[in-house]
Structure 1
């Protein structure tokens, strides 16, 4: 009988590459041949966190270094030769030891593809310039993430020999003072765009900035010259900053597909806003924004292109006491954002707190007004935070929206204790009556209802004899999905799986989707097969 280990070496290397950690270690102990293929995966990923206790730090680093550099008796090679991904997080009181140990490791990690350094890299470069030389020799490196980046680190990156092969770069820019700049390098320091010009094959850029960090543009940049600064290879951009600074540089990446933006304080002076006033945003497939970003995104002179999917992740309250976090002025800014981008899909991923809706006119609900702002909207996802309402009570709020896809998630309020969650909430998802949603929204084809909290009381099983097991399985499901087949009098509502709903959503949110016939026959064949077995 042929066993797994009788396969060719190339096939086994490929199969075993999907193993990580303990799974690979267990398999390596089954046979000598298995060890040969599995042990590289045991040492492929290394995530090391060192605390601020000097004694523990010394012990951790010594054991870690010895383990990586000691030759294994079976493979006759040290584990460091198999290392592919290194994530080092250090808040040590002995930074010199961190830098020296990392330097020794990098000198031997010839296959390293990912290096994530969560420590003061600027201090490391200043104390031990050889760190930059060691990084420059990592020919296999494709992803680099550095924290507390200052002038010296930017100089190192600008001269990095492997800059042309890196595909993903993450930089958290440190706050600096003029004295620190003059100490680290020539004054003025290199701007971000100057350094990025050395990385022609970047497809992912992650950037953290603050008002006191390094400059993003050269001081001599004008509205005319900035039009010639383009980074065509970057498709994914993640920005995290204290106030909006790097946000205005999005037009410099014409081929962006997705942007993720986080700002803890969305107010402040827009440093580069006037320079990019003549430039246009690229057509984005996904725009994710967190905190107050959406309230202050749209400057009067900005030129925006339509986006496919807009996600707003922030705390939005209405009808709350004390005062709400989202004021009427802020809601108006979100409406302006919608009108600027004309998204075909909207995700309100933050906390929408619903309060009694029986006496509320639908048009008085701010987030409902946001959803009605763009006639092209065809996909809507709502994350609702509430302890007292059931999903069927908001159908009147969504009435006559031109939606084709609707996904509603119910979750408990963070201020509520778990024991206080009423059993009616999860039960509402288990036994929800979906037809009212389809009646309120005639264009709706896909509906999903989901609960993200546990039921504290058992759900009463009222199923007929012989169907108890099926009913129990339905009650245990955290989410349910329905599909509306046909039109007019021939409409038929069918419960479907989440995977089918996700396939339909991808079609609905795609460019050029035809509302009338884009989903014709999508489930027809599947429903016919189900009918045979029924």
Structure 2
């Protein structure tokens, strides 16, 4: 029998193991080092504690298998046997609390202490109304990704206890906002910050909240907080541009991901059209821009295309990388009627490169191209233009290289030489 096993390669073993139940895989991992190596890492990557049976499977071989877990979904209103053993032996735990989490902030802090390797913390609809002296509690240095979704202001004090957070998603609940504590948030910038507003009232409160809690963020994503008209440079409300400017002035980002629901509006006479003028004044050091335009709210089937004025407006910014997402998630096609839109999208990269001397990378995503076969996202590097009157040209990149360039520009420690690799010929995309 041993000779037969010796003749089988690992790929065949993995196919056989895929038919085994978790308990059988746990037992098999104890037979020899080879089977332990094959079965454990691939079979025990996720664990849910809302069913006690899942944890009982683990307990048969908890000492060797728990360290391979990369995600645990913990439902806090259920009890599972041997759960502490699993938590203390596991790395990169993901804790997700929902409405079942108590509104008592002190109780939540006590629960989080039970997760010594907590990596991702997601709180949804957590609405404590009483502030606590957050500075008296020990910090949670293992937490690197923090999501506070539809929470009240006292819940945001958790951020004070997470000194190593690299990604913060914040959405505020405007009701029951009785809060007096103002802990000092860290002065160093957060690498990635996402702001959301589920209700119209939350937008004003979000701006006021950020002004009261001065913080910095290297990359900021604003998830459809305000609506803009079809030209992409005018707001539907008079105060939108000033609110956006307040957010950018407070956060001082180097990279901005701006989601814009575009509204088809025939009358633009009363619109100020100062969106990008406000952005340029509030964020003069902005070097990366992702402009995500969603026109699905339009009454007809018209889809948004970059207007002629948009290039001139974006030229106000000293951008290094721009990614235009024009309805990237919509698989839509309108035949000949869509040709002007396609021509506008095709001309946008070259026009932008000619208008912004600092631009080095540009990408365009178009959801309608998904049905036609071509790549729905294209990237180009900008070449030339070093001297007066020099012509700038575009060289198409592999999608992976364009996305990598965007990530480099979005980082806090970016310098121009970081993009030298994308000028290698191996990054050039050659159509077959």
* Higher gyration radius (CA): 1
What SS does the corresponding residue of 1:169 show, helix, strand or coil?
strand
Equivalent residues of 1:410, 1:451 under 8 A apart: yes
Deviation at 1:86, TM superposition (A): 5.2
Q: For 1:210-230, what per-residue CA distance to the aligned partner results, in whole angstroms no more than 9, with x for missing partners?
A: 32xxx699x8x43xx625531
Q: Does 1:504 align with 2:405?
A: yes
Deviation at 1:450, TM superposition (A): 1.8
Equivalent residues of 1:388, 1:425 under 8 A apart: no
Deviation at 1:286, TM superposition (A): 0.8
Q: Cα distance 1:523–1:282, how it changes in 2: closer, same or farther (>3 A)?
A: closer
Q: Cα distance 1:83–1:522, how it changes in 2: closer, same or farther (>3 A)?
A: closer
Equivalent residues of 1:404, 1:444 under 8 A apart: yes
Equivalent residues of 2:353, 2:359 under 8 A apart: yes
Residue of structure 2 equivalent to 1:174 = 99
Q: TM-score, normalised on structure 2?
A: 0.72
Residue of structure 2 equivalent to 1:144 = 72
Cα distance in 1 for partners of 2:69, 2:129 equals 25
Q: Identify which of 101, 126, 133 aligns with 1:210.
A: 126
- Equivalent residues in 2 for 1:123-522, closer than 5 Å: 141=69, 143-147=71-75, 149-150=76-77, 160-166=84-90, 167-175=92-100, 191-211=107-127, 221-222=132-133, 226=135, 228-241=137-150, 243-263=152-172, 266-270=173-177, 273-280=179-186, 283-292=189-198, 295-297=204-206, 298-299=208-209, 302-314=212-224, 316-319=226-229, 327-329=237-239, 331-353=241-263, 364-366=273-275, 369-370=278-279, 372-386=281-295, 387=302, 389-391=304-306, 393=308, 394-411=310-327, 422-424=337-339, 427-428=342-343, 431-432=346-347, 434-454=349-369, 476-486=374-384, 487-489=386-388, 490-497=390-397, 498-514=399-415, 517-518=416-417, 521-522=420-421
Equivalent residues of 1:380, 1:407 under 8 A apart: yes
Deviation at 1:208, TM superposition (A): 2.3
What SS does the corresponding residue of 1:409 show, helix, strand or coil?
strand
Tell which deviates more after alignment, 362-371 or 432-441: 362-371
Residue of structure 2 equivalent to 1:467 = none
Higher relative contact order (CA 8 A, sep 6+): 2
Q: Cα distance 1:296–1:158, how it changes in 2: closer, same or farther (>3 A)?
A: farther
- Equivalent residues in 2 for 1:89-100, closer than 5 Å: 99=51
Cα distance in 2 for partners of 1:238, 1:431 equals 37
Cα distance in 2 for partners of 1:144, 1:360 equals 54
Cα distance in 1 for partners of 2:56, 2:48 equals 14
Q: Cα distance 1:371–1:251, how it changes in 2: closer, same or farther (>3 A)?
A: farther
Structure 1 stretches lacking a partner, 5+ long: 17-33, 44-66, 90-97, 114-137, 179-187, 459-474
Deviation at 1:376, TM superposition (A): 0.9
Structure 2 stretches lacking a partner, 5+ long: 32-38, 296-301
Residue of structure 2 equivalent to 1:84 = 44
- Equivalent residues in 2 for 1:104-123, closer than 5 Å: 105-108=57-60, 110=62
What SS does the corresponding residue of 1:502 show, helix, strand or coil?
helix
